[in-house]
Amino acid sequence: MKEKVEKTLDEIRPALQADGGNVELVDVTEDGIVKVRLTGACGSCPMGTYTLKTGIEQKLKQAFPEIKSVEQVK
């Protein structure tokens, strides 16, 4: 599952990188929680939570219905 999530994140990365940021996959738990770290400009952006929930989480849930949520870790 982790490899599939990483491939989906690869589709999202160009948009984040265009604004000087990126996303790093930390873990995918057995209970459907994806843990990511926003880096670069995304890590300190006040809109980071919005990007995480409406961009990254939405895309991952569409691709993988078994994903319950996406959480940011430091």
Average pLDDT score over the chain: 94
- Domain edges within the chain: 2-72
DSSP letter (8 states) at residue 72: E
Under DSSP, the state recorded for 31 is: T
- Which tokens sit at 35? 């843990």
Q: Higher pLDDT residue, 14 or 44? A: 14
Rounded average pLDDT over 60-72: 96
Residue 45, pLDDT score? 86
> What confidence score (pLDDT) does residue 74 get?
84
Domain range 2-72, CATH architecture: 2-Layer Sandwich (3.30)
Helix (H/G/I), strand (E/B), else coil: 56: helix
CB neighbours (10 Å) of residue 21? 19
Cα 73 to Cα 65: distance, rounded to the nearest angstrom:
22
Residue with tokens 């604004």: 19
**Using one digit for the tens of pLDDT, what is the confidence trace for 40-53?**
999 888 888 899 99
